[in-house]
Amino acid sequence: MAEIVFQVSPSVDNDVLNALFATAWANHVATDFQPMLKHSLLYVCAYHAEQLVGFVKVAWDGGIHGFILDTTVHRNFQHQGIGVQLVQTATAAAREQGIDWLHVDYEPHLHAFYEKCGFVPTLAGLINLRKS
């Protein structure tokens, strides 16, 4: 894997995030990410040199439940373990913030990916962060 640095909730602007999402999602529409980042518990950015190559955020209910959203890796950096590390970094950071349960919803073709990240298959995709 290329030298990748993971940072929890660094300052990141819309242009950089939109450039990343445009490489990974065919139908991405330019978005103002700032309100979502502001209301998230945390987010994790992955950088190669100074280029943003990965992103995931953890939304939350204001209590003990967090929700993995927007797991994204630049198309030139996919299949190198960056996505798994993003989610694992977000999981550890959420645990440190007092989250007990981390949820994720995903399409069937992503089952193996989220299993590698430590999620136990349930109807909701759930991790008990106090026992893992």
User: What is the sign of the dihedral through the CA atoms of 65, 70, 74 and 77?
Assistant: positive
User: What is the sign of the dihedral through the CA atoms of 102, 42, 3 and 109?
Assistant: positive
Name the nearest CA neighbour of 14 among 38, 31, 36, 35: 31
Q: What does DSSP say about strands 65-73 and 101-103: parallel, antiparallel, or unpaired?
A: parallel
Q: Which residue has the higher pLDDT, 127 or 132?
A: 127
For all residues of the chain together, what is the average pLDDT?
94
Question: Which pLDDT tens digit goes with each residue over 53-78?
Answer: 999 999 999 999 999 999 999 999 99
For residue 15 the two structure tokens come to: 């242009």
For the chain, the helix, strand and coil percentages under 3-state DSSP, each to the nearest 5: 35, 30, 40
What is the C-alpha to C-alpha distance for residues 83 and 42, in angstroms, rounded to an integer? 16
Asked whether the predicted pLDDT for residue 132 surpasses 80, the reply is: no
Give me the residue spans of the domains in the chain: 5-128
- Give the H or E element holding residue 55: strand 51-60
- Local confidence band at 130 (pLDDT 50, 70, 90 cut-offs): confident
96 burial type by CB count under 10 A (0-12 exposed, 13-18 middle, 19+ buried): exposed
Architecture of the domain delimited by 5-128: 3-Layer(aba) Sandwich (3.40)
